[in-house]
Amino acid sequence: MIKSLSKIYYSKRNKKYPSVSPGFTILEIIISLFILIIMFSVAQANYRGFITEKNLDTARDRIISDIRLAQQQAQAGKMPSGCLTPLDGYRFITSSSSYEIQADCATDVSVKTVQLSSFSSGLSLTSGQVIYFRILGKGPVFPPSFSDSITLTLSQQTGGTRAITISVGGEIR
């Protein structure tokens, strides 16, 4: 019954409007395109924010890894090549656009230098911080003049920050 009614409707419609074919009007197409443009704009903005957050997280993880490297080298008492006198410890030194790991001998020996631009453009780090790890048997992890902890702030130019905290006991968060 339904098939016969639909055949009648379509046959009558085609006879009544023979030049009209089924399809979309220009207004329906424009509205659909407008909705798609809005959806893609929102998706692109969310994607940019996601990429910024991931770049910050990746840079933070690599900085923490390098701080742990300095800490482990100091605890092991590992002397780098170029260190001619007894090793006292390792320094992790920050500037706004880079950081460096140095071995503390009679002369400071650079172990590793990293530019923040190698992670992502627009990154900056708390400048002028020096984290000092002494070798075992030479006192605490930090010299006594330090407070309970040191906090480094990693910032993205387009927004977003990450904090890295190093406690006197050597815990890195």
CA-nearest of 37, 40, 21, 19 to 29 is: 37
60-100: per-residue pLDDT in tens?
Answer: 999 999 999 999 999 888 988 888 888 889 999 999 999 99
Q: Domain 27-167: which CATH class? A: alpha beta
pTM: predicted TM-score of the whole model, two decimal places: 0.75
| Band (9; pLDDT cuts 50, 70, 90) | low
Q: Which ranges of the chain does DSSP label H, i.e. alpha helix? A: 2-16, 26-76
List the beta bridge partners of residue 47.
Answer: none
H or E stretch covering 90: strand 89-94
Cα–Cα distance for residue pair 113/67, rounded to 1 Å: 12
| Band (35; pLDDT cuts 50, 70, 90) | very high
| pLDDT value, residue 106 | 81
Q: What is the DSSP letter of 118?
A: G
